[in-house]
Amino acid sequence: MTDQKYELATFAGGCFWCMVKPFDEEPGIMKVISGYTGGIKENPTYEEVCSETTGHFEAVQITFDPAIYSYEKLLSIYWQQIDPTDSGGQFYDRGQSYQTAIFYHNENQKQMAEESKRQLEQSGRFSKPIATAILPAKPFYPAEEYHQHYYKKNPAHYERYQFGSGRKAFIEKHWGNE
């Protein structure tokens, strides 16, 4: 039996409801949790984060086995879920708590995130500069239970939100079937 070493990846991509499904149930992904990070308030509530007074981002924290699912692959999927040029939030959701950010947990993740951002900037896929921040990981606070795996608990509302927010159309326009 070999020792398994799991790692954490933390991504803010606007509404955390939309950031779970792309990573969930993939081989090597142990769990995906919706929550709050990057701010100053300990154990914030959803209402507090939405009030824009805590400094927190809505985010997902992924526990993964890097021997099965690489951090580079996580980054690739992350970029394909967001509008990385929007500094004011994501799609329908506006404000600091909905801004995009990659929270790195070690120097290796920082370097990979910076390199993936550089590659995306140089790809010419977007006409505006990439606004996604790359920040050191801070304490992560799981969101309330009703936010966890929202796409499974409320599939019809989740699909309407994906469509109505503009996220789905943006992803299809910029990434197609990738």
Radius of gyration over alpha carbons of the chain, in Å? 15
Domains of the chain (ranges; CATH) run 7-175 (3.30.1060.10)
The candidate with the shortest Cα–Cα distance to 104, out of 95, 92, 116, 120, is 116
Confidence category of residue 176, pLDDT binned at 50, 70, 90: confident
For residue range 75-104, what is the model confidence (pLDDT) as tens digits?
999 999 999 999 999 999 999 999 999 999
Confidence category of residue 119, pLDDT binned at 50, 70, 90: very high
Burial of 135 (C-beta count, 10 Å sphere; 0-12/13-18/19+): middle
Q: Which of 15, 29, 82, 143 is catalytic?
A: 15
For residue range 29-73, what is the model confidence (pLDDT) as tens digits?
999 999 999 999 999 999 999 999 999 999 999 999 999 999 999
For the question of residue 15 being annotated catalytic, the response is yes
Measured over the CA atoms of residue 74, residue 75, residue 80 and residue 81, the dihedral's sign is: positive
> Rounded to whole angstroms, how far apart are CA atoms 44 and 160?
27
Q: Which residue has the tokens 């896929």?
A: 125
